[in-house]
Amino acid sequence: MATPPENSANPNSREKILDVAEALFARQGFAGISMSDIALRVGLGKSSLFHHFSGKLELYAEVCERVLDRIGERVRPALEGSGDAPERLDVAIGLLCDTLAEHPNTARLLLRALVENELFPEADREQLEAANRAVAELVGALTTVLREGVQTGAFREVSLPDATQTVIGAVVLHFASGEVGEAILGEPIFSTKAVARRKREVTDFIHCALVQHSKLEGS
């Protein structure tokens, strides 16, 4: 059960490093965190990190991948599942909220992945390929649901790319908004009460925004 898959001695350090790096990168960004910062919080020497990851960028890339996979695993099945488009969208948004709420770093890292691509010079982009692909697939799955909803007449006739962007912004920003968000809410963002309300509110918001209200009955 606890058998390490490979011949390395302490494969647990990798995950501990990834956990710490995820938290720090999420709040301070790639440039804002040093390898020493991470090592210090893990309880290792700085050099030890380089034994597990070939460099800072590779560590960052793996952190992003892990986060995006975590989201994709839960949200994509819902987007691609059964039911009509509005149902699938509602469920997917709820699951995305759950995922973003369970780990406070996720939304920030996702935001960075969406917004901070050109931070890295051309030469290094290849290392982030997997993360970028994960983003593209998630976004694509969302657009597909929206397209189906429009085609079946369940949704208003919206611009698909714009609606995709709007939905993402509406859901994700809140969970990344930190202190400003708490000031707006007047309570912690990640309290179970606030999360439950948030889930209901965004889902309703987006549902109302898209679902055709003056819909004529018939096919």
Partner DNA sequence: GTCTATACGATGATAGAC
Partner DNA sequence: GTCTATCATCGTATAGAC
Supply the minimum distance, in Å, between the C-beta of residue 62 and DNA.
13
Nearer to a second copy, 13 or 177 (CB): 177
Which residues have CB under 8 Å from 98's CB, separation 6+? 74, 199
Instruction: Spell out the long-range contacts of 45-52 with Cβ–Cβ below 8 A and sequence spacing 24 or more.
Output: 48/13, 49/17, 52/13, 52/14, 52/17
Choosing among DNA, a second copy, none, which partner's interface includes residue 196 (Cβ < 5 to 8 Å by kind)? none
Q: Does 56 bind a second copy (CB under 8 A)?
A: no
| C-alpha pair distances (Å), 95 with each of 48, 102, 119, 124, 189 | 37, 10, 29, 32, 17
Interface residue with a second copy among 90, 139, 144, 190 (CB under 8 A) is 139
Nearer to a second copy, 12 or 152 (CB): 152
Choosing among DNA, a second copy, none, which partner's interface includes residue 180 (Cβ < 5 to 8 Å by kind)? a second copy
Q: Does 98 bind a second copy (CB under 8 A)?
A: no
Choosing among a second copy, DNA, none, which partner's interface includes residue 201 (Cβ < 5 to 8 Å by kind)? a second copy
Instruction: Please identify, among the stretches 74-82, 92-100, 144-152, 162-170, the one whose residues bind a second copy according to the rule CB under 8 A.
Output: 162-170
Q: CA 67, CA 190: separation in Å to the nearest integer?
A: 18
Interface residue with a second copy among 4, 43, 169, 188 (CB under 8 A) is 169
Supply the minimum distance, in Å, between the C-beta of residue 146 and a second copy.
11
Nearer to DNA, 55 or 153 (CB): 55
Interface residue with a second copy among 36, 102, 119, 126 (CB under 8 A) is 119
Nearer to a second copy, 4 or 169 (CB): 169
Residues found near a second copy in the complex (CB under 8 A): 27-32, 108, 111, 113-119, 132, 135-136, 139, 143, 156, 158-159, 161-174, 176-181, 183-186, 197-198, 201-202, 204-206, 208-210, 213-214
